[in-house]
């Protein structure tokens, strides 16, 4: 309402003043509701016109844009020149422009799925993104990523100057998929190790490096402007001082950071699964349901700033270091393939593509379509769902996929391949079952299961159901072991050979679960052992980092030339 007050009274200075007042006042309110309401108001066909001039901008008034037709504003903003976009949040006009394009992008994608579903209906593909942390000789983070990324095209930027990322080509999920995935993971890690070693650096696979200190998270370690912009937006939108982390656990921590860089503690393995539109609702809901036991069996982030915390501390850190409402698990079972994309207009538009927002007006419908889909993809990238629906509408690569973002990196490439086997197998293992998780469980139980698993790992008490469909409570360890047969069934239906299924599900994952020997367990047990021997905490953390990295890079003939999985490591 205040943004239209100026045009109503005919005084742009009044409008700017009232707008500024309400923007500051709204810092203490629910921003998600504000932006959603603002978007609805702006797109109301009965509204007046809107001046696209910045609130503090002097000079001649830009041409007014009609909110009754939306002409122009939903496509671009056109001040004399695009403002500098580095280290700042979006203005209200920019946020509105982004949300309109996001809504248009959803409509375009929905139309494509309706009119040409065959373009998105393909056999399942699996892919991944893997993040690494650079270490120095003392097991501390090494901010050398800028140089390495500039020198090697295959390396991608992550949040901080001590993180790297590699992507993979998606693989058909067929008989040798798991072997191919393990080879990909190993080749990527070997490549990162090699290029880091050339400059005297080390790289490791771990959910959270035990050797981090608060000094590592100053703003100087942002890798690029994208993350400085995110940081500025979060600071402006947060009703309380952001970047404060409070974790319980055996020891627990409370820490106040100065920036979004706290999130750079987290290094992850993201698993991708392309799904046909007709299968998306069923598969996505199953993935949501099984994420808790999957995570419990894969924990690798139990030491934070030298303290024993959650078994998978990445989960609460990600929520607390940013805006919690931007990191949802979900609120209900979905009922259509792009439901989570349609909900994106309810979230803060905290990033923009400058060319999309401020570039020349699109000259063709195809160009406008591309801009709207770009805005949709960018907005989807700053709503960090733990299981995220993503898409490509580019000609020849059309697909929709699920990205599972819950898993930590490491401890070894074989461990990650085994985790992936569990994920892909469970996604399809309930086909043909009379009862699926979403038929029995309340979504609130599934959501609670997820956070319990992150906190307690295999010891978490989870809500599940028995063969008669009655709710039961059992440990994450019991449930994960029970679901191994379901995962095996799913992998078999996808055509994966029995020898490969047995190697990863029974030879690695079952042994890890039965012995309660995840990476998180290994770190805690090793720290306890070293402390009992009288080793200082600083020396113990360095020893754990050194031994972890050594175990990751030492091949074993017993394990087909790969480094032994974590259940085969000895406690220090």
Give the model's pLDDT for residue 539: 97
Nearest to 326 by CA among 35, 10, 560: 35
Give the model's pLDDT for residue 79: 52
Give the model's pLDDT for residue 232: 87
Nearest-angstrom CA–CA distance, 219 and 202? 23
Within 10 angstroms of residue 100's Cβ, the number of other Cβ atoms is 22
Ordered domains of the chain (ranges, CATH): 2-90 (no CATH), 117-347+383-568 (3.30.590.20)
> Dihedral sign, CA of 515, 441, 437, 301?
negative
H-state helical runs in 10-79: 12-25, 31-42
Structure tokens at 442: 């309340």
Structure tokens at 340: 């989570």
Give the model's pLDDT for residue 257: 83
CA distances from 439 to 221, 269, 470, 486 (A): 46, 29, 11, 17
Show Cβ contacts of residue 219 under 8 Å, excluding neighbours closer than 6 positions: 228, 231, 258, 259, 261
Cα-flanking dihedrals φ and ψ of residue 256, to 5°? -110, 120
Enter the pTM of the model: 0.86
Give the model's pLDDT for residue 46: 30
Residue 410 · residue 552 · CB < 8 Å = yes
DSSP for 232-266 reads HHHHHH-SS-S-EEEE-SSS-EEEE-SSGGGGGGB
Average pLDDT per run of 10 along the chain, which is 572 residues long? 39 44 45 46 34 31 30 49 73 92 97 94 96 96 95 94 96 97 98 95 97 91 88 86 87 88 95 97 98 99 97 96 94 97 94 85 91 96 97 93 98 99 98 92 98 99 96 98 98 98 98 99 98 97 98 96 98 96
Which uninterrupted H or E stretch holds 324?
Answer: none
């Amino acid at each position: 309402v205040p943004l239209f007050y100026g045009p109503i009274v005919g005084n742009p200075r009044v409008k700017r003043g009232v707008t500024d007042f309400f923007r500051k006042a709204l810092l203490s309110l629910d921003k998600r509701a504000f932006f959603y309401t603002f978007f609805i108001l702006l797109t109301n066909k009965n509204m007046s016109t809107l001046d696209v001039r910045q609130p503090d901008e002097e000079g001649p008034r830009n041409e007014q844009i009609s909110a009754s037709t939306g002409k122009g504003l939903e496509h671009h903003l056109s001040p004399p020149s695009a403002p500098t976009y580095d280290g700042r949040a979006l203005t209200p006009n920019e946020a509105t422009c982004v949300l309109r394009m996001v809504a248009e992008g959803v409509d375009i994608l929905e139309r494509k799925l309706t009119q040409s579903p065959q373009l998105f209906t393909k056999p399942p593909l699996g892919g991944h993104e893997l993040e690494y942390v650079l270490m120095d000789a003392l097991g501390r983070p090494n901010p050398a990523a800028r140089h390495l990324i500039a020198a090697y095209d295959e390396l991608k930027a992550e949040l901080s100057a001590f993180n790297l990322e590699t992507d993979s080509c998606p693989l058909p999920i067929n008989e040798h998929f798991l072997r191919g995935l393990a080879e990909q993971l190993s080749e990527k890690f070997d490549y990162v190790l090699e290029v880091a070693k050339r400059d005297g650096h080390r790289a490791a696979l771990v959910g959270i490096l035990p050797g981090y200190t608060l000094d590592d998270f100053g703003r100087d370690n942002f890798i690029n402007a994208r993350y400085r912009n995110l940081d500025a937006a979060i600071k402006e939108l947060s009703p309380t001082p952001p970047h404060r982390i409070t974790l319980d656990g055996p020891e627990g921590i409370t820490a106040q950071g100065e920036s979004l860089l706290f999130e750079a503690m987290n290094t992850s393995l993201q698993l991708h699964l392309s799904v046909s539109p007709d299968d998306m609702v069923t598969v996505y809901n199953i993935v949501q349901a099984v994420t808790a036991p999957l995570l419990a069996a894969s924990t690798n982030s139990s030491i934070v700033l030298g303290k024993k915390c959650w078994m998978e501390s990445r989960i609460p850190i990600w929520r607390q270091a940013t805006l919690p409402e931007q990191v949802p698990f979900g609120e209900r079972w979905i009922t259509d393939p792009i439901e989570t994309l349609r909900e994106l207009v309810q979230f803060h538009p905290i990033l923009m593509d400058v060319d999309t927002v401020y570039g020349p007006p699109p000259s063709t419908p195809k160009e406008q379509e591309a801009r709207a889909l770009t805005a949709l993809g960018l907005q989807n990238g700053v709503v960090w769902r733990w299981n995220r629906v993503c898409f490509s509408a580019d000609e020849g690569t059309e697909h929709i996929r699920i990205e599972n973002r819950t898993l930590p990196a490491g401890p070894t490439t074989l461990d990650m391949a085994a985790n992936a086997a569990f994920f892909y197998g469970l996604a399809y293992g309930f086909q043909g079952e009379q009862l699926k998780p979403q038929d029995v469980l309340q979504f609130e139980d599934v959501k609670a299961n997820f956070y319990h698993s992150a906190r307690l790992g295999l010891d978490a008490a989870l809500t599940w159901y028995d063969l008669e469909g009655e709710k039961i409570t059992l440990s994450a360890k019991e449930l994960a072991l029970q679901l191994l047969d379901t995962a095996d069934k799913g992998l078999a239906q996808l055509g994966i050979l029995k020898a490969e299924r047995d190697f990863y599900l029974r030879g690695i994952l079952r042994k890890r679960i039965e012995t309660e020997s995840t990476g998180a367990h290994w770190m805690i047990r090793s720290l306890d052992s070293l402390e009992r021997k009288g080793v200082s905490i600083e020396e113990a953390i360095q020893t754990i980092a050194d031994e972890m990295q050594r175990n990751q890079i030492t091949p074993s003939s017993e394990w087909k030339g790969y480094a032994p999985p974590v259940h085969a490591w000895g406690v220090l």
